């Protein structure tokens, strides 16, 4: 939820040097007919096939689907870690990825990884300021000031001098999201950031992410296996088919924001969950059967 203090921080973030995006760029992603074929040593694996998806600027999209359906492959292509075989991806109508275009990761599309990738040798504060300092967008002291502000907003100020190894997984992931947000990215790419967390930590992490989303309103590509999580957090749930990955269906989640846990038991939520569950279950079954065939 926004309040005056939040608006002040947003304003500050937009007027400081941290803003590396011009005002016309908002973070709309357009994935057009993307195919990705892995061909290591002649083994032809179609990870994504003719995959198209439009994500509006500031939209929270959750991507679900069976393991190996290409969710992470698509994330890696968007992030610039991998190339694509056919198709194009545009970010705010600028070509981001196409065959022959060299993949280029960058702070406009920051990734938060499944197992976390905070630098263990840096304190929380030094992790958070890493992006703006290495890009020379801010001086260290400027970055520290903004980082402290963001950390205290999430109740993480007390741990700024702690090393990541001393933190719980929930706290680590929150720090990692703050580290991503300080770069003022156009898109936040989250690869199952809350996987393996216990339910209490997970729900606290959901609340923290929703709070950040409500404040900063970034475009989010969020991979998960958890349908409830997908619906609770997102504006759109994208269900992918088993390999070769395609978009099977998109579900508009028209639940109001800000959201809280009471929504999980509302008829609307349960209806959306049923809809997604049927689609995901069918794909999971296909993946399972195919897995058995591959093993046979």
Shortest gap between Cβ of 109 and other proteins (angstroms)? Answer: 7
Closer of 119 and 288 to other proteins (Cβ): 119
Closer of 66 and 107 to other proteins (Cβ): 107
Shortest gap between Cβ of 78 and other proteins (angstroms)? Answer: 11
Please report, as residue ranges, which positions from 174 to 193 form the binding site for other proteins (by CB under 8 A).
Answer: 179-180, 183
Shortest gap between Cβ of 272 and other proteins (angstroms)? Answer: 31
- Cβ 51 vs Cβ 35: under 8 Å: yes
State yes or no: residue 218 binds other proteins (CB under 8 A): no
State yes or no: residue 109 binds other proteins (CB under 8 A): yes
Among 2, 11, 17, 115, contact with other proteins (rule: CB under 8 A):
115
State yes or no: residue 244 binds other proteins (CB under 8 A): no
Please report, as residue ranges, which positions from 51 to 90 form the binding site for other proteins (by CB under 8 A).
Answer: 79-81
- Cβ 77 vs Cβ 103: under 8 Å: yes
Shortest gap between Cβ of 88 and other proteins (angstroms)? Answer: 21
Shortest gap between Cβ of 164 and other proteins (angstroms)? Answer: 8
Among 18, 69, 130, 234, contact with other proteins (rule: CB under 8 A):
130
């Amino acid at each position: 939820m926004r309040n005056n203090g939040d608006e002040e921080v947003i304003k500050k973030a937009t007027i400081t040097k941290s803003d590396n995006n011009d005002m016309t760029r908002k973070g709309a992603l357009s994935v057009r007919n993307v195919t990705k074929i892995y061909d290591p040593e002649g083994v032809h694996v179609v990870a994504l096939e003719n995959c198209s998806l439009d994500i509006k600027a500031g939209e929270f999209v959750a991507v679900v689907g069976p393991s190996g359906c290409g969710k992470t492959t698509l994330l890696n292509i968007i992030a610039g870690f991998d190339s694509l075989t056919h198709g194009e991806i545009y970010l705010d109508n600028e070509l981001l990825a196409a065959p022959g275009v060299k993949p280029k990761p960058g702070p406009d599309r920051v990734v938060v990884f499944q197992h976390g990738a905070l630098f263990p040798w840096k304190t929380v504060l030094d992790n958070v300021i890493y992006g703006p300092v290495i890009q020379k967008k801010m001086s260290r002291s400027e970055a520290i000031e903004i980082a402290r502000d963001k950390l205290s907003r999430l109740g993480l100020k007390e741990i700024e001098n702690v090393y990541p190894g001393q933190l719980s997984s929930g706290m680590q992931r929150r720090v990692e999201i703050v580290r991503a947000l300080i770069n003022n990215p156009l898109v936040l790419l989250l690869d199952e950031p809350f996987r393996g967390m216990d339910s209490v930590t997970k729900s606290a992490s959901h609340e923290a992410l929703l709070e950040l989303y409500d404040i900063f309103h970034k475009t989010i590509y969020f991979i998960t296996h958890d349908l409830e999580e997908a619906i609770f957090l997102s504006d759109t749930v994208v269900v992918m088919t088993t390999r070769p990955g395609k978009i099977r269906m998109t579900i508009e989640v028209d639940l109001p924001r800000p959201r809280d846990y009471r929504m999980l038991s509302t008829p609307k939520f349960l209806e959306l969950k049923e809809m997604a569950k049927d689609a995901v279950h069918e794909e999971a079954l296909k993946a399972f059967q195919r897995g058995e065939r591959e093993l046979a």
